[in-house]
Structure 1
């Protein structure tokens, strides 16, 4: 539900409640009513509607505060998805935010599948189990770090300013300054796109490992190579954190 829809819904609800409460054809509440209860209700409803109008509109219209996200305020992937969902309507980052939310869900599924297959292939607590399981855990943890980093990059990206800079040739501000500003925004955009790409590679690596482990028989050299690949992909993700 975007901000415009929320504003319309809030104010329309206030109007409807006011009409039902004070119109002669409905409850017709008024402070001068002979009934103390009805007179009191008319005042209480008026104050409640006034508070809802003032506080509700202020909350929706005030600029969103910039908060630097970290594992202190984002404990898991579900919280990360909740934060990213507020950016899905953006002109430039809406699609990216939606993609990352989808990646989080798929990453959780891929991680869970990989852990299940490791548990089937090795005895829990054995050296082999620890080797693979710890690699999966690290990959998942670094992926969360990357998602947090993405959320920070997206929230500090001013879409209205970026839109203005893309048309910098048509205003009176010196072009050389605006070109540098635009380059800064474009660099940030490329970093975000690259971070999304390495997340995708990590998901693919986890799925490959799960598929190989699901095959019957002993662990082959290819699976060792896949583990090495996951560690390599994890290191690539670290670059964008």
Structure 2
């Protein structure tokens, strides 16, 4: 159960209990079904029935309420925003491992970017064409990794762990198998796409590290002399091509 839903249940039930105490405690409003006043006695009886019923209805509605699926806009994300979204899936049976790997990739991506920046600052004049060329390819790789994670999160948001578990056991219920098989195939295709994006990110992070090491070791002062530059550019173009 989501933390937001648990908080809603706690505070909602607390509100009901406080209201009950205020209404029926002798030191406060002191309502009672045996009150000498017929009006107060009737009101006490009505509230005594309605409040517990309302509490049960509130709990049922809160527990059964589906979580809102809020997709992330392609250009409306930040590293920290993605990190927080990924943390929500650490306990997921379907995407727990993907979330852990992605959080690790975020950390590695930041370290690789910082490493490339450090080498560029040391070897080239900041603002020079060579500096800008290497800096832009490293930034493009990072942007592609983050865009991939946004795509992953939007796919992850529409897969419900409970529904997926039920679909995997479709032979044991009364719902037509052919419908559930199609739905299971759809879910599996979506899950595979998420894992493919994760693999793409791992490849880009590796190439960023390779770029950092090549830049540090090479005497080349042009992108043509750095193999990782062309490989990162090719990877980014492939990812963009298949995403469109």
C-alpha distance in structure 2 between counterparts of 1:142 and 1:187, whole Å: 22
Equivalent residue for 2:227? 225
Kindly state the Cα deviation for residue 71 of structure 1 after the two structures are TM-superposed: 4.1
> Structure 1, unaligned stretches of length 5 or more?
23-29, 33-52
Equivalent residue for 2:47? none
Kindly state the Cα deviation for residue 60 of structure 1 after the two structures are TM-superposed: 8.3
The answer to whether structure 1 residue 97 and structure 2 residue 74 are counterparts is no
1:108–1:236 Cα change, 3 Å: farther
Instruction: Determine helix, strand or coil for the equivalent of 1:87.
Output: coil
Equivalent residue for 1:192? 194
The structure whose Rg is larger is 2
The answer to whether structure 1 residue 237 and structure 2 residue 239 are counterparts is yes
Equivalent residue for 1:40? none
C-alpha distance in structure 1 between counterparts of 2:196 and 2:66, whole Å: 29
Equivalent residue for 1:155? 157
Q: Would you say the 8 A contact 2:215–2:226 is kept in 1? A: no
> Structure 2, unaligned stretches of length 5 or more?
30-54
1:95–1:2 Cα change, 3 Å: farther
Equivalent residue for 2:180? 178
Equivalent residue for 2:142? 140
TM-score, normalised on structure 1?
A: 0.73
Q: Would you say the 8 A contact 1:84–1:101 is kept in 2? A: yes
C-alpha distance in structure 2 between counterparts of 1:86 and 1:59, whole Å: 19
1:223–1:157 Cα change, 3 Å: farther
- State the Cα RMSD in Å: 3.5
1:166–1:223 Cα change, 3 Å: farther
Equivalent residue for 1:3? 3
TM-score, normalised on structure 2?
A: 0.72
Q: Would you say the 8 A contact 1:113–1:210 is kept in 2? A: yes
1:158–1:122 Cα change, 3 Å: same
